[in-house]
Amino acid sequence: MLVMDGDGLALSKRRITLSTSGVVPMMARCGAEIGVNLAVSLHGVRKDVRDELVPLNKKYGLEDLLQACADYPGASNARRITFEYVMIKGKNDSDDDARELVRLLKAYNLPAKVNLIPFNPWPGSGYECSDPDRIRRFSNIVFEGGISAPVRTPRGRDIDAACGQLKTAAEKKSRAQRDREAAAAAAV
């Protein structure tokens, strides 16, 4: 990788994190060949919820994903796997979900940290962010289970850009629509 090469950016592999939704067959290869840290977009602990939130789950299920994480080369308490978990009101934020998350991570003996991310709603998303008290309760249950579960501070909500969900309030136009509008404006 150019970013780790001495003739490139010369970054240490310990300072690089690969983020994945769970392309299971490539995880071990990535760990073996480039040895970077791993972050997994988890977002749900039940099949139906994760299938909805992370469609790749239909191809590589939760158990296969967690086994691939357990087998990830170099994962240890010093190099924990980060699990990203967006908090969505009434969808994946219950006490039972928190307890199941702890159970799963312990069942696979995963050296883990869970980043709890308040959902950034946008018009038409159909989801709402969990209440701050609910997120705190979820975090406390996971922490009491022996797993770090910090809550990410939401930033960028004022410009519809929080938590990687960059989205404008304006309706997206197709390329053809933009071309028609440009042609109409040029004809005037």
Look at residues 65, 162, 147 and name the one whose alpha carbon lies nearest to residue 117. 162
- Structure pTM? 0.76
Q: What is the pLDDT of residue 32?
A: 78
Look at residues 18, 89, 83, 73 and name the one whose alpha carbon lies nearest to residue 45. 83
- pLDDT above 70 covers what percent of the chain? 76
Which tokens belong to 120? Answer: 């950034």
Q: Is residue 3 part of a domain?
A: no
CA distance 157 to 103: 33
CA distance 161 to 52: 22
Q: What is the pLDDT of residue 74?
A: 74
Q: Is residue 6 part of a domain?
A: no
Domain carrying residue 146: 13-187
Q: What is the mean pLDDT of residues 136-161?
A: 83
Q: What is the amino acid identity at position 13?
A: K
Q: Is residue 130 part of a domain?
A: yes
Number of domains in the chain: 1
pLDDT level of residue 28 (50, 70, 90 thresholds) = confident
Using CB atoms within 10 A of its CB, is residue 149 exposed (0-12), middle (13-18) or buried (19+)? buried
Dmax (CA) of the chain: 67
Q: Is residue 50 part of a domain?
A: yes
Q: Is residue 2 part of a domain?
A: no
Q: What value does the mean pLDDT of the chain take?
A: 82
| CATH value at residue 182 | 3.20.20.70
Q: What is the pLDDT of residue 108?
A: 96
pLDDT at residue 160 is higher than 60: no
pLDDT level of residue 106 (50, 70, 90 thresholds) = very high
Q: Is residue 42 part of a domain?
A: yes
Q: Is residue 70 part of a domain?
A: yes
HEC profile of the chain: CCCCCCCCCCCCHHHCEEEECCCHHHHHHHHHHCCCEEEEECCCCCHHHHHHHCHHHHCCCHHHHHHHHHCCCCCCCCCCEEEEEEEECCCCCCHHHHHHHHHHHHHCCCCEEEEEEECCCCCCCCCCECCHHHHHHHHHHHHHCCCECCECCCCCHHHCCHHHCCCCCCCCCCHHHHHHHHHHHHHC
Q: What is the pLDDT of residue 139?
A: 98
Q: Is residue 5 part of a domain?
A: no
pLDDT level of residue 4 (50, 70, 90 thresholds) = very low
